Amino acid sequence: MSSQVRLGIVVARYGPDVLGGAETFARGLAEHLPTDEFEVEVLTTCARDLVEWHNVYPPGLTYINDIPVVRFPVDHARRNTKRYWELMVKFTNHWPSTVDEEYEWIEQSAHSPQLYAFLAEHGARYDFILFIPYIFGPTYYGIELFPEKSILWPCLHDEPFAHFLPTRLMMEACHGIMFTSEPERTLALHKIGVRNRGGRVVGFGLDDFTADPERFRRKHNIHEPFILYAGRVEGMKNVPLLLDCFGVYKETHPNISLKLLIMGTGTIPIPRHPDIVPLGFMTGQDKLDAFAAATIFCQPSELESFSIVIMESWLAGVPVLVHGDCDVTRYHVLRSNGGLYFTNEDEFAGAVDWFLEHPDLRRQMGQAGRAYVLREYNWDVVLDRFRAALNYWHSL
């Protein structure tokens, strides 16, 4: 391997205004790799959202924070969107399906033939090509072009698509697999049954930050204790469960002063309720101030491979409440002693009561979470793991 590693990163969507954990992973790694060690180029589409996949960005070369980004249009002529969503409903409801339908669903995903043609022509110039996440067309089709150079950063959840035969075959074909957590690795190698000796847990790095909780409260006129949710407001993120649990809590605890703040956008309607505050999409210092101002951060999702938002909450010194059926977030909570977990309305209420009744221990939990992130997921540590993984993959 040359002294400067030539790394291509293929991700279906890319940019500072793109929502999604995998997309944040891709941008974070690209921007933190030392330029004297790595020559990075990002290949992506012109799309910003993952529902319609409209080509909103111009095609061609651009630079985002000094990283070269080459965009290619999504080909909508080849997509049967209606069929894609028919199959999506079938899979997510666990209705009987066939392997042919699995391949058909991948075929109806977002694809960019121009991206594939560029990769076929220029892929040989990269030492490694990192594909993230596993679930979109550019990953399935791109790995077929250069399996011997391909490193998959799958961002796996325990969802039907992860158990598809084409998904397993893709993970077995690529040269290496980069996981963000040990439970994700366990899911791939033991539950899905992937046979690939190139699997390595690297994690994801986060930058420490300073924030002003009182500034957020003044700006948004929030005086009460509050639970914060941040992320896509979608059913797959289990937001309806959080809304139900909070609604029941307010009904059964009418004298408790507590609000729920929802940071993010999505398809789930946020109910009109005096104690539920939609914040919309937030970035920058205002977002960090929101984390610091929260009393509790809740991550109800059962489908996480890492969860950046709970790490950001811990960096702000705020404890988290996660879903007990998510192996990854429960793993982080148990390793860090930085929070509690729940699976139903009663457990949610019990956890919230405990947090509110034990402010000193609540703050200690938040600080324990902060120490965990600074120890395990600072960029120096993560980049050292990434270098070690590259050396291992190069040796195979």
Residues 223-238 have pLDDT tens digits of 999 999 999 999 989 9
Q: What residue spans define the domains of the chain? A: 5-205+378-395, 213-376
- Tell me the per-residue pLDDT of 165-201, one tens digit each, with 9 for 90 and over: 999 999 999 999 999 999 999 999 999 999 999 899 9
Distance CA 242, CA 246 (A): 6
Amino acid at 291: F
State residue 276 phi and psi, 5-degree precision: -115, 120
The H-or-E segment that residue 128 falls in is: strand 128-132
Please provide the distance, in angstroms rounded to a whole number, between the alpha carbons at the two ends of the chain. 12
Percent of residues, the chain, with pLDDT higher than 70 = 99
Strands 199-201 and 320-323: unpaired
Say if residue 63's pLDDT is above 90.
Answer: yes
Query: What phi and psi, each to the nearest 5 degrees, are found at residue 246?
Result: -70, -40
Percent of the residues in the chain that have a pLDDT greater than 90, as a whole number: 93
- Listed residue (134, 125, 129, 141) closest to 43, CA to CA: 129
Q: Which of 41, 53, 159, 24 is nearest to 102 (CA)?
A: 159
CATH superfamily of 5-205+378-395: Glycogen Phosphorylase B; (3.40.50.2000)
Average pLDDT over residues 253-282: 95
CA-to-CA dists, residue 392 to 156, 177, 198, 385, angstroms: 22, 11, 8, 10
Q: How many CB atoms lie within 10 A of CB 124?
A: 9
Domains 5-205+378-395 and 213-376 share a fold: yes
- Kindly indicate the confidence band of residue 3, based on its pLDDT and cuts at 50, 70 and 90: confident
* Tens-digit pLDDT profile for residues 365-393: 999 999 999 999 999 999 999 999 999 99
Which segments within 136-245 are labelled E, that is strand? 150-152, 176-179, 199-201, 226-230
Q: Which residues pair with 5 in a beta bridge?
A: 38
Classified as helix, coil or strand, 135 is coil
Strands 67-72 and 60-64: antiparallel
Write the CA distances from 76 to 53, 108, 273, 286, integer angstroms: 8, 10, 39, 36
- Specify the pTM: 0.91
Q: Between the CA of residue 231 and those of 292, 297, 344, what are the distances in Å?
A: 16, 12, 20
- Superfamily of domain 213-376, CATH level 4: Glycogen Phosphorylase B; (3.40.50.2000)
Element (H, E) at 218: helix 213-220
Show the tokens assigned to 257.
Answer: 């002063």
